[in-house]
Structure 1
Amino acid sequence: MSKFTIKDFKGVIPAAISVFDINEELDLDATKEFIDFLLSFDINGLYLTGSTGEGFLMKSEERIAEVEAVMEVAGDKVPVVVHVGNIGTKRTIELAKCAKDAGATAISSVPPFYWAFNSKQIFNYYKDIAEAVDIPMIIYNVPLAGLMSEEMIVELSKIDNIQGVKYTSTDIFEIPVIRDDIDKDFMIYGGADELASSNVLLGVDGIVGSFYNLFPDLFIQIYKNVKEGNVEKAYKLQRSAVVLITHIVRTGNMVAGIKALLREAGVNAGYARRPFINFYGEDQKILAKEVVELADKYELEDIKVIDILRKKFGK
């Protein structure tokens, strides 16, 4: 059983990568080392085996093994939410039960995808999972799996155990509407890295993101500056974040790019699984140099990974 409640799951939360070796095998020792790396930044929680964690490229047994390994390192330090989403309800419930047994604070899931499921089917998917496991559930509104309407989110919030939403849609104007239409205890998490500062301004309980693996200290600074009313400083940092994110995303291999930059900075983040295309050798160095150049252009300082890369490739 988790020592944390879902109310503790707030602040800056990386959607953690999964660490695979060069042969695409799950590396649990490196996983623990990477989680220690993230914890060194005083992050506020972890979100496991989601899209960034390449959860859909993993066997169920691998997802369970990763969660258990992470809980050994982080379970008593920060709340951990496990993404258990799968295309089938039965398999999702199996993963949800394993997450609970491992001591997760809560579970999360994208809506069922691929077959353009209708609203009733999506509602039943979440209802079945929430009723099968007595652990808080965070639903997930994300373009990759299909966005749900604000009305659907409100209806789902009425189900016992559904206690939050990870909101990765860019239509963030809906967040205050959701807050007004749902009980104030319902947790809302901003999921678009490019809108981190805006999400915090709108009053989300936490921000969960992919690039928090690479630049956790940058997003911690953004979060703190918004909370402290230093909006101009937060905007400057957010602008830098958007430029860096956009450059890496435009490579067409976001997850592989994050891992390549971490490796170049001396952090064992492993490699992405196919069909993602990894960066090797000179291509990895070129990407690192480009990131340093952009960081210099936008006067981005005191970001650990960038500072390491700047010593290697800066002028």
Structure 2
Amino acid sequence: MPAFKLSDITGVIPALITPFDENEAFDEKRMRACVRFLLARKVDGFYLTGSTGETFLMSPEERKRVVEVVVDEVAGRVPVMAHIGAIGTHLSIDLAQHAQKTGVDALSSVPPFYWSFPQHEVLGYYADLTASTDLPMIVYNVPLAGLFGFDMIAKLAQIKGVEGIKYTAPTQFEIMRIKAEISKEFVVYSGADEMAMSGLSFGADGIIGSLYNLMPELFIGIRDAIATKDLGKAQALQETANAIIFFGASRGLMAVIKRGMAWQGADAGYCRRPFSNYYDPEAEEALKNEFRLLKKERNLVGVKFLDAI
């Protein structure tokens, strides 16, 4: 029995990074430290082993171990969602059943990808997953694995156990339509960091994103500003976040997130290749200098990782 109902899983939810050491092995000690760091920053939950967690660069056994470590470290303090997507249904079911046994509160999955699976096979994939556990399923609408149109989302919502969607697409007007035409109870998470403000404005129940590992304070601020209808403040915070997002994207965003966390005292380790890294202290110092210049040029305030350098 999950500790949290899906309807209670709202707010700012980092798509959690997975720390690897210098030899690309999963680093449990760093993982636990990063969880504690984000809990201290008052995030509202965790989304594990997704794209930001480098899940498709890990073996099934490693993915399971990440879930075990995070659930143990969280110890029921906030909800935990596990992404269990894979191309093959057999593997996804195995990961789903392990995640339920470990104690997560909800599951999520990209659709099967690489081959162009027809609609009935994608629907069958999700039906098989939801039948394999008692946990709610959050389908994942993301360009990397293929976007769903509204009609497909409506069909997915009819599958028993599919209770929400992680909506990482630019067509955020569909969030309103989902709530109006599918169900107000169908949970929607906005998944585009650079559109957190608009996602919440259009009715998303929560936001899940990569940069919430690095600068959760900005997105918590956006959440609170939207809740009080202070759109000016929300816009200013989103502009600050986006300046950093677009700047970091050209410098290896995954590596930037992990190094930026380390600058705040939460050593998130390194990425697995083919992602880039900042192993060289001189290269890392150059990155810090670039961020210092960005902070000055754009007058970026209230960003803790920038203040730390």
Structure 1 match to 2:29? 29
Amino acid at match of 1:262: M
Give the counterpart letter for 1:159 in structure 2: I
The alignment status of 1:69 with 2:75, answered yes or no, reads no
Aligned counterparts of 2:107 and 2:269: Cα–Cα separation in 1: 25
Contact (CA 8 Å) 1:193, 1:209: kept in 2 or not? yes
Once the two structures are superposed, what CA deviation does each residue of 1:41-64 show, in whole Å capped at 9, x if it has no partner? Answer: 111110000000001111111111
Aligned counterparts of 1:41 and 1:263: Cα–Cα separation in 2: 15
CA deviation profile, 1:7-56 (whole Å, cap 9, x unmatched): 12100000000011111000112111110000001111100000000011
Compute the displacement of 1:179 (Å). Answer: 1.2
Gaps of 5+ in 1: 310-315
The question of whether the paired residues in 2 share the 8 Å contact of 1:21 and 1:271 is answered with: yes
> Any idea what SS the aligned residue of 2:308 has?
helix
Whether 1:196 and 2:196 are equivalent positions in the alignment is yes
CA distance in 1, matches of 2:272, 2:122: 28
Residues in 2 aligned to 1:285 and 1:262: alpha-carbon distance in whole angstroms: 14
Q: What is aligned with 2:6?
A: 6
Distance 1:147 1:75 in 2: 34
SS of alignment partner, residue 116 of structure 1: coil
Q: C-alpha separation between the residues in 2 aligned to 1:186 and 1:305?
A: 35
The CA distance in 1 between the partners of 2:6 and 2:53, in whole Å, is 21
Q: How does 1:169-180 map to 2 (within 5 A)?
A: 169-180=169-180
User: Mean Cα displacement is larger for which, 157-166 or 295-304?
Assistant: 295-304
Corresponding position of 1:272? 271
Which residue of structure 2 lines up, in the alignment, with residue 313 of structure 1?
none
Task: Output the CA distance in 2 between the equivalents of 1:26 and 1:170.
Answer: 33
What letter corresponds to residue 71 of structure 2 in structure 1?
M
Kindly state the Cα deviation for residue 130 of structure 1 after the two structures are TM-superposed. 0.8
Match of 2:236 in 1: 236
Query: Could you tell me how far apart the structure 1 residues matched to 2:56 and 2:182 are?
Result: 31
Q: How far did residue 298 of structure 1 move?
A: 3.2
Alignment partners' CA distance in 2, 1:290 and 1:224: 30
1:274: Cα distance to partner? Answer: 0.6
1:181 aligns with 2:181: yes
Q: 1:138 to 1:75 in 2, by over 3 A?
A: farther
Match of residue 132 from structure 2: 132
Q: 1:284 Cα shift? A: 1.7
- Root mean square deviation, CA, Å: 1.1
- Counterpart secondary structure, 1:163: strand
Q: Secondary structure at the match of 1:47?
A: strand
With the length of structure 1 as denominator, give the TM-score of the two structures: 0.95
Separation in 1 of the partners of 2:119 and 2:81?
25
State the Cα distance separating 1:209 from its structure 2 match: 0.2
Aligned partners of 1:267, 1:164: CA distance in 2, in Å?
A: 31
Deviates more, 1:274-283 or 1:165-174: 274-283
For 2:290 and 2:245, locate their aligned partners in 1 and report how far apart those are by CA, in whole Å.
12
Q: CA deviation at 1:6?
A: 0.8
Deviation at 1:307, TM superposition (A): 1.3
Cα contact 2:137–2:162 (8 A) shared by 1: yes
How high is the sequence identity, in percent, across the aligned residues? 44
Paired with 1:240 and 1:302, the residues of 2 have a C-alpha distance of 9
Amino acid at match of 1:182: I
Partner residue, 1:98: 98
Shift of 1:175: 1.1
Please give the residue correspondences for 1:111-126 in structure 2 after superposition, counting only pairs within 5 Å.
Answer: 111-126=111-126
Q: Distance in 2 between matches of 1:45 and 1:286?
A: 33
* Map of 1:49 onto structure 2: 49
2:179 and 2:185 in contact (8 A); partners too: no
The question of whether the paired residues in 2 share the 8 Å contact of 1:2 and 1:75 is answered with no
Q: Distance in 1 between matches of 2:65 and 2:271?
A: 18
Aligned partner of 1:17 in structure 2 is: 17
Quick one: which amino acid aligns to residue 7 of structure 1?
S
CA contact (8 A) 1:75 1:103 kept: no
The Cα shift of 1:212 comes to 0.3
Is residue 165–residue 189 contact of structure 1 (8 Å, CA) maintained in 2?
yes
Q: Distance in 2 between matches of 1:264 and 1:5?
A: 35
How many angstroms does 1:87 deviate by?
Answer: 0.8
User: How far off its partner does 1:210 sit?
Assistant: 0.2
1:163-220 CA-to-partner distances (Å, cap 9, x unmatched) read: 0000000111111111112121110000000000111111100000000000011110
Q: How does 1:163-312 map to 2 (within 5 A)?
A: 163-251=163-251, 253-280=252-279, 281-309=281-309
Q: What's the secondary structure of 1:117's corresponding residue?
A: coil
SS in 1 for 2:196: helix
Aligned counterpart, 1:81: 81
8 Å contact kept, 2:255–2:271: yes
Deviation at 1:227, TM superposition (A): 1.1
Question: Retained in 2: the 8 A contact 1:194–1:238?
Answer: yes
| Between 132-141 and 273-282, the greater mean CA deviation after superposition | 273-282
Whole-angstrom distance in 1 between the partners of 2:262 and 2:216: 16
